[in-house]
Amino acid sequence: MVMSMNREMTIGQAAKSSAISAKMIRHYESIGLLPKAQRTESGYRLYDDNDVHTLRFIQRARSLGFPLETIRTLLALWRNRRRSSSHVKDLAERHIADLERKIAEMQSMVRSLKHLAHHCHGDDRPECPILDDLAG
Amino acid sequence: MVMSMNREMTIGQAAKSSAISAKMIRHYESIGLLPKAQRTESGYRLYDDNDVHTLRFIQRARSLGFPLETIRTLLALWRNRRRSSSHVKDLAERHIADLERKIAEMQSMVRSLKHLAHHCHGDDRPECPILDDLAG
DNA sequence: ATGGACCCTCCCATCATGGGAAGGTCAAGG
DNA sequence: CCTTGACCTTCCCATGATGGGAGGGTCCAT
């Protein structure tokens, strides 16, 4: 049933194919996010298309901001045919809530900063409402 | 411990007065953000109202999200009577731009995640558009 | 055989913060 | 006076995700 070619490649090529740096691929392996890679006799890591598929999964999850520990769970769910989609959705929704909390925090900072900056002349003189605010 | 009358206090009290942990106050001193504190004969750090004023300045700046290196500059400007407010305003505006960039990044993640979560049934079955997306 | 482009491991840095160990100091109450 | 507990000290380690770089081995094409 396996009809795909099993092209093997070194870590540099896997890195290019997945947009994850070789440094990070080694790191993910070291923390057990990835299984230990195959090695050549001389110790070079070898990756096949399946490995690259996993790497891309991780890359996409990282690009959505998922922390590595959550990605560890997502990978397990991905591989588990008896998973429930509610588990995955729950992880996504918690992550969304996390992001929205951080966004709100930063937006509040931006509002305050813009207010302060708006009142600052921004010229050669020392008077500055921004510093006045920080000084309390 | 010799405590003079002009409102000198230990690090724990300075921490309470400034809402910066004792741990962080020591750290700020170690990286030169704060000058070395006075010490009692037995080695306890001592802080006066002026020091607490500086600590509150730092606390307020941190609460607006300024990184410590920028706060180092802000402190110098605060103490410099020949500063130009444009310098301060510039720092604030760069910080605003930084925050807005990060906010936009996270909002983009949230948009994608909400879209995916919206299409996920979130039930007992394994089918999951979120994992399908991550898997590419 | 040589050079350059890979690969390996190991250590260190970032950024801001906290935890905790091991030990010294101080004030209050028995 | 001595104990107790709440402070204080320094030092090391951890977080999360990533990168830099040293020192050394491997592979391939010229």
Instruction: Let me know whether B54 and B28 are in one domain.
Output: yes
CB-contacts to strand C (7 A): A 10-13, 22, 26, 37, 43-45; B 1, 3, 21, 23-24, 27, 40-44, 62, 67-69
Instruction: Let me know whether A13 and A67 are in one domain.
Output: yes
Average pLDDT on A32-43 reads: 96
Tokens of B5: 């009358």
Instruction: Let me know whether B75 and B95 are in one domain.
Output: no
Range of the domain at A126: 84-136
- Residue B120: how many other CB atoms lie within 10 Å: 21
* pLDDT band with cut points at 50, 70 and 90 for residue A7: confident
Task: Say how many domains are in chain B.
Answer: 2
Instruction: Let me know whether B118 and B132 are in one domain.
Output: yes
Q: Which residues of A52-86 are buried (b: 16+ CB within 10 A; e: fewer)?
A: bebbbbbbbbeebbbeeebbeebbebbeeeebbbe
DSSP summary character for residue A119? T
Give the pLDDT of residue A4. Answer: 52
- Find residue B46's DSSP bridge partners: B38
Of A83, A89, A106, the CB nearest to B103: A106
Instruction: Let me know whether B45 and B74 are in one domain.
Output: yes
Q: Which residues of A touch B99 (CB under 8 A)?
A: 106, 109-110, 113
In chain B, which residues have pLDDT < 50? 1-5
